[in-house]
A and B are shown apart, each in its own frame.
Chain A
Amino acid sequence: MAKLILKNINKQYDKAVNTNAVTDFNLQVKDGEFIVLVGPSGCGKSTMLRMIAGLEEITSGEFYLDGKLMNDVPPSNRNISMVFQNYALYPHMTVYDNMAFGLKIRKTNKKEIDRRVREAAEILGLQDLLNRKPKALSGGQKQRVALGRAIVREAELFLMDEPLSNLDAKLRFQMRAEIAKLHQRLGTTSIYVTHDQTEAMTMASRIVIMKDGVIQQVGTPKEVYDFPENVFVGGFIGSPSMNFFNGEIVDGRFISEGFDMKVPDEKLAMLKAMGYVNKKVVMGIRPEHIELQNGEVGACYELLRAKIIVSELTGSDMLLYSSIGPQEFIAQVGSRTIVSPGEEVLLGFEMDRAHFFDFESGKRIKAYDSKQLADAPEKAYAAEPVLRYV
């Protein structure tokens, strides 16, 4: 069990080049949290994890584990266990020996080792594989052994570096649930790195979204999904991605190329208050907040005529790749919809759920400032317009 404090952490690989792999990383992790670091490749998330592990030096900043400064503690003395993407099992040892390795180093007595290894094997369903060598295991089984090796140590902190990337889609789905279950059972503070936003959304207690070594947003999956701090987070979290339209706020309407629509009163008031009238903004709306309309219209929908380019059935849903004039976007509708490419349809935009971003900085325009959010997030979110869940 552990609390982490990461304070102004920077990582610079080459002092001459003067570019940071991680810049001014600040995060406090509560005991038992499951933190997911997510971002595109090269965003510094793995580097951050390796600094916590002690495998990379922290260029500047402080890392505290349970109040103890860890910057110069070697990885072997940190009591942190880590799961690697390629499992990193020892090929010449059996599953049992792989799991017992760390305990043997710590000179745990044989009975205790045996008890812990068998317990971990039971949790992970590895009882029948204890005498096998890694070569004789499937990808999913190897991943389980790697997890087992991490949990037998009963370390204070689990680190996982893209542990599911080498598995096929179905197995990844399964292991995702298993890791979540494992975390619920053990309650060990965990930090998990992935580039897959679905993994982040489904597993995390809090998500840290990174880009170019800088934190873009920290929040629960729901927070980052419903209130993305900027265009990057809006586009990165959620699949299919959020649709973005460039435009201007004029006379209470959002004017974009090829169409314009009314901005709901609450949003308009907020935009006015923040001084965005007659200014360029970016409007973002998720595909599931655009619906196909046939006559009856809800109050908050803005109707627009759009042309279907292509429709894609994902099973439970249908994605309509549509266009209004030169602008293309995706609408996510029910799977029973019948439309054909080239057809003109009426689409309803649920504008209550739309977000407006500053055109220059890409930051979401909101009524409160970030200081308020940091001090009292509950209050800050209360200031958000009440959402209508349909």
Chain B
Amino acid sequence: MKQSYFDSMKNREKVLKAVNFILLCFGSLLFLSPLWWMISTSLKTMKEVMSFPPTFFPKEWNWDNYIKTWEAAPFDLYTINTVTITILVVVGQVLVNSFVAYGFAKIPFKGREVLFAIVLSTMMIPGFVTLIPQYVLFANLGWLNTYYPLVVPAFFGSAFNIFLLRQFYMTVPNEMIEAARMEGASHFYIWRKIGIPLTKPALATVAIFSFNGAWNDFLGPLLYVNDENLYTLQLGLQVFKGEMSTQWNYLMAGSLIVLLPVILLFFFFQKYFIKGINLQSGGK
């Protein structure tokens, strides 16, 4: 039987799909291998970690490494500390940046464009340039060894997040804001009742970014926090790094535990990235 044009097209598609699948599998294995290395190391004994040639799978699966890790330092306390900082930072970033972005996008005022350009230009300054002046500033404020240096800046906006949210607000039709104004709403009310619900996907993005930043922050706490009772998880992990030797198996186990919420969060919020809200005022 002679093959029709459509049959040959279908076969071609099948082959292409198979090739794609194999390539993607290979790629994901490549990207997963460091994670596997972490998991595998976390379950080995210290002797096996150091053995040569290295083993890909642990000879013995030492699950109690995780319990030992958790008990090696007051990780319960560190978790509470980290969670506190992270929540405050996320709340600050989401609310303040959203509010500022609403203003830049929807309230016309003199010098708005110039001001926005100045805000954006702060993105050009590398963080390390301001590190020492900032330290001096916080030291003068008497904020060393407190969480203020870690939390308060989050309530003063960040250029990138403002930019991101402003772009999102630009897609909200002006008429919608004007309609609300006509109905007697203040800008604050409109931001709260219309702005926030309509920019949820962008807010979720900002929340995830700032969660990640705060949760994984090592330099901030290292600089500003000395009291062991104020340590965060990232600082806590340092107990396994001795001056002579590092307990790699415990460090990896601890790192995995600390990493877990971040991974879970990504799974949970993924739909917000995809979904998006139709902003055409209920249009098509």
Question: Which residues of A are interface residues toward B (Cβ below 8 A)?
Answer: 53-55, 74-78, 80-82, 84-92, 101-102, 105-106, 133-135, 137, 142, 149, 153
Docked pose: A81 CA to B186 CA in angstroms? 15
Task: Please name all residues of chain A whose beta carbon is closer than 8 Å to the beta carbon of B278 when the two chains form the complex.
Answer: 91, 135
Q: Give the residue name and chain of the B residue nearest to A152 (CB).
A: B183
B282 contacts A82, C-beta separation under 8 Å: no
Q: Within the complex, what minimum Cβ distance (angstroms) separates A16 from chain B?
A: 15
Docked pose: A360 CA to B176 CA in angstroms? 45
A82 contacts B182, C-beta separation under 8 Å: yes
With A134-B282, A142-B282 already in contact, the answer to whether A88 and B184 are too (CB < 8 A) is: no
Q: Does B265 contact A (CB under 8 A)?
A: no
Q: How many A-B pairs fall under 8 Å by CB? A: 80
B182 contacts A53, C-beta separation under 8 Å: yes
Q: Does B126 contact A (CB under 8 A)?
A: no
- Jot down 11 A-B pairs with beta carbons below 8 A, ordered by A: A76-B182, A82-B179, A84-B178, A86-B175, A88-B175, A89-B281, A90-B176, A91-B198, A101-B180, A102-B183, A135-B278
Q: Does B197 contact A (CB under 8 A)?
A: yes
Interface members, chain B 6-33 (any A CB < 8 Å): none
With A91-B198, A92-B198 already in contact, the answer to whether A102 and B173 are too (CB < 8 A) is: no
B189 contacts A133, C-beta separation under 8 Å: no
B181 contacts A88, C-beta separation under 8 Å: no
The interface residues of chain A, by DSSP majority, are classed as loop
Task: Please name all residues of chain A whose beta carbon is closer than 8 Å to the beta carbon of B179 when the two chains form the complex.
Answer: 82, 84, 88, 149
Task: Please name all residues of chain B whose beta carbon is closer than 8 Å to the beta carbon of A84 when the two chains form the complex.
Answer: 175, 178-179
Docked pose: A153 CA to B178 CA in angstroms? 16
Contact with A along B259-284 (1 / 0, CB 8 A): 00000000000000000011111110
Task: Please name all residues of chain A whose beta carbon is closer than 8 Å to the beta carbon of B283 when the two chains form the complex.
Answer: 86
Interface members, chain B 177-212 (any A CB < 8 Å): 178-186, 189, 193-194, 197-198
Taking A53-B182, A55-B181, A105-B183 as given, write out 20 further A-B residue pairs in contact, using a Cβ cutoff of 8 Å, ordered by the A residue number.
A55-B182, A75-B178, A75-B181, A76-B185, A86-B173, A86-B175, A86-B283, A87-B281, A88-B173, A88-B175, A88-B178, A90-B180, A102-B183, A105-B184, A106-B184, A133-B282, A134-B282, A135-B282, A137-B282, A149-B183
Q: Within the complex, what minimum Cβ distance (angstroms) separates A10 from chain B?
A: 20
A76 contacts B178, C-beta separation under 8 Å: no
B282 contacts A81, C-beta separation under 8 Å: no
Docked pose: A124 CA to B183 CA in angstroms? 20
B279 contacts A91, C-beta separation under 8 Å: yes
Q: Give the residue name and chain of the A residue nearest to B179 (CB).
A: A88
Docked pose: A263 CA to B1 CA in angstroms? 87
Q: Within the complex, what minimum Cβ distance (angstroms) separates A107 from chain B?
A: 10
